Structure 1
Amino acid sequence: MTKKDSIKVVKEKLASITSQTDSYFRALQEDDRKGVQKLLATWEINQIKQAQIKEKAEMILAYEHAAQAKGYRMIAGIDEVGRGPLAGPVVAAAVILPKDFELLEIDDSKKLSEKKRDMFYDLILEQAVSVGIGIIDEKIIDKINIYEATKEAMKLAVAKLSFPPDYLLIDAMKLESLPIPQESIIKGDAKSVSIASASIIAKVTRDRLMKSFDTKYPGYGFANNAGYGTKEHLEGLEKLGPCPIHRETFAPVKKYLN
């Protein structure tokens, strides 16, 4: 560079550079201005982050690629939310993604902020081949137990898919009654993009349901705790007793039943 670019121009040009071998980048390394060196340091940090995101994206596609290599095409990821709460339903989602799904920074729903979950929720609904949601309420949970209710929610989610899946990737469970080839993956919501997507759909769906219940049944903090046994929730139980959506077979609730 015979004439040095302004810091603003350097910033704009750096945004389009992807390699340190770029001639402009090498020239900037000789520029002793603090502003330029700061921009170079930021660029390098961003490149590392992007490489990590790409590596993570490739890793969480491994199960899908393995299933595709076996000839499967309609691969559904399945996950649930709501096994632990004292109130409300258990919600499961089944998601079939297209091959060219835009990964971005998708991950286990519990690791994402509410804002990011909502953003990915919209993205998944927009781009997915099909999404199915299964909801099993507290009455059935009390009748058949939470483990069986979770299975029923998952089966219902699969049944609601617009296209029948030919392979299932399931987070830490097996659906023996479904005659579909399947794979149970421990911590699957962090290892499979399809399961991670199902986790996000299930969590956003359930969180929104619990916020609506907070309006109907105030005093337990459902909008904040989604029915989990937080201090606020337990204090509400002690003061008000159980409401219609509480799980009566769960010990912290059972002791307040008449």
Structure 2
Amino acid sequence: MAVINSLGTLEKFISNSDNTENAFYISEIPDVCKEYPCIVGIDEAGRGPVLGPMVYGTSFCPINEQMIYNKLDCADSKELNEEKRDLIFTNICKQNKTVGWAVDIISPNIISNNMLSRKKVSLNQISMDSAVGLIRAVESAGVKIAHVFVDTVGPPEKYQSYLKGLFPQFEITVSKKADSLYPVVSAASICAKVTRDHALKVWKFAEDIEATYENYGSGYPSDPVTKKFMEGHCDPVFGYPQLVRFSWSTAENALEKLAYHIDGENKEPTKKAPPVNNTSITSFFKLANKDNTEKKVPHEFFAQRCLSRDVEF
């Protein structure tokens, strides 16, 4: 496991991760966290954007050392500018004799697949599963957990009861705006937000797209830069690159306008207007041999993602 002690090493860790899968990192565990009862804070960043990962973060330290979060100026990450968040994150990393942290980077690909699968998994459930995974990871790493503070997803009473059922050995506090009420949750929020911001900055497209953070912005649907990216990077057959959460209504609505529409064999003809050109969808799976006879090969989309089929086209 890499040691992340700066923004540079954080970006390197993210760059070496597979964007199509979740990535997880937990810091080295301070010895004092294994010896003395600790508080643990959990919060997320990137729940609402249509682009990029959602990140759940946690931070922890001994109860008798918790004032360190105040000294680090930990506050709700949404109330801090990027420069201030980066500085606090760097200082959290420097307090590795007292403070530990972890992040769960949930790929937009995983979010979409879960929310659009036949057995749908809600974003709330994805969020709760990540929080539970962080608690278990911190406990498995040897941290002597006493009290867990969590920013809520849905009704706090219901969520708190759910977590208490899984972890009866810990005190559990679930609250709205926990990132504003509890500095340990503020620290978790900062770890999550900084990780998401830098994940967007170093995103590597598997698709044949040349774009940088400046080209797609924050990922929020209201961001003009994000809107422009969505309008200009929709393949009429395959839709959006995996940076985009297909399960968001923003993406679904855009695809209605920009992508080809395909009717199933057993469906009645729709009243939708045909595509501007008459390109057959099967042409995307075919190339010609030198003698102009048809050569059936998959579209480069599949090669870029190392996808193959067991049957011939």
Q: TM-score normalised by the shorter chain: which range applies?
A: 0.5 to 0.7
| 1:154 equivalent in structure 2 | 131
Look up the SS of the partner of 2:246 in the other structure. coil
Q: Does 2:112 align with 1:120?
A: no
User: Which of 104, 109, 112 is 1:134 aligned to?
Assistant: 104
User: Which of 90, 101, 112 is 2:68 aligned to?
Assistant: 101
Distance 1:210 1:247, change over 3 A: same
| 2:241 equivalent in structure 1 | 243
Identity of aligned residues (%): 26
8 A contact 1:80–1:92 mirrored in 2: yes
Look up the SS of the partner of 1:245 in the other structure. coil
Q: Does 2:219 align with 1:227?
A: yes
Q: Which amino acid aligns with 1:203?
A: K
| 1:172 equivalent in structure 2 | 152
Look up the SS of the partner of 1:248 in the other structure. coil
1:223 to partner: Cα distance: 7.2
8 A contact 2:56–2:131 mirrored in 1: yes
What are the superposed Cα offsets for residues 75-119 of structure 1, whole Å, 9 maximum, x if unpaired? 101100011000221101111124151523321111112121111
User: Counterparts of 1:164 and 1:77 in 2: how far apart (Å)?
Assistant: 14
Distance 1:223 1:130, change over 3 A: farther
| 2:49 equivalent in structure 1 | 85
User: Counterparts of 1:223 and 1:166 in 2: how far apart (Å)?
Assistant: 44
| 1:8 equivalent in structure 2 | none
TM-score between both structures, scaled by the size of structure 1: 0.65
| 1:190 equivalent in structure 2 | 180
Larger radius of gyration: 1
User: Counterparts of 2:144 and 2:106 in 1: how far apart (Å)?
Assistant: 21
User: Counterparts of 1:254 and 1:220 in 2: how far apart (Å)?
Assistant: 23
TM-score between both structures, scaled by the size of structure 2: 0.54
Q: Which runs of 5+ in 1 are unaligned?
A: 1-71
8 A contact 1:133–1:156 mirrored in 2: no
1:250 to partner: Cα distance: 0.4
Q: Which runs of 5+ in 2 are unaligned?
A: 1-35, 115-120, 154-158, 235-239, 260-313
User: Counterparts of 1:82 and 1:89 in 2: how far apart (Å)?
Assistant: 7
| 1:5 equivalent in structure 2 | none
8 A contact 1:82–1:91 mirrored in 2: yes
Look up the SS of the partner of 2:68 in the other structure. coil
Look up the SS of the partner of 2:74 in the other structure. coil
Q: Which amino acid aligns with 1:199?
A: S
The number of residues matched between the two structures is 187
1:247 to partner: Cα distance: 0.7
| 1:67 equivalent in structure 2 | none
8 A contact 2:109–2:242 mirrored in 1: no
What are the superposed Cα offsets for residues 13-41 of structure 1, whole Å, 9 maximum, x if unpaired? xxxxxxxxxxxxxxxxxxxxxxxxxxxxx
| 2:37 equivalent in structure 1 | 73
Q: Which moved more, 1:166-175 or 1:220-229?
A: 220-229
What are the superposed Cα offsets for residues 126-154 of structure 1, whole Å, 9 maximum, x if unpaired? 22432121122123322123222222222
8 A contact 2:43–2:150 mirrored in 1: yes
Look up the SS of the partner of 1:213 in the other structure. coil
1:238 to partner: Cα distance: 1.3
User: Counterparts of 1:255 and 1:211 in 2: how far apart (Å)?
Assistant: 26
Look up the SS of the partner of 1:103 in the other structure. helix
User: Counterparts of 2:79 and 2:146 in 1: how far apart (Å)?
Assistant: 29
8 A contact 2:45–2:54 mirrored in 1: yes
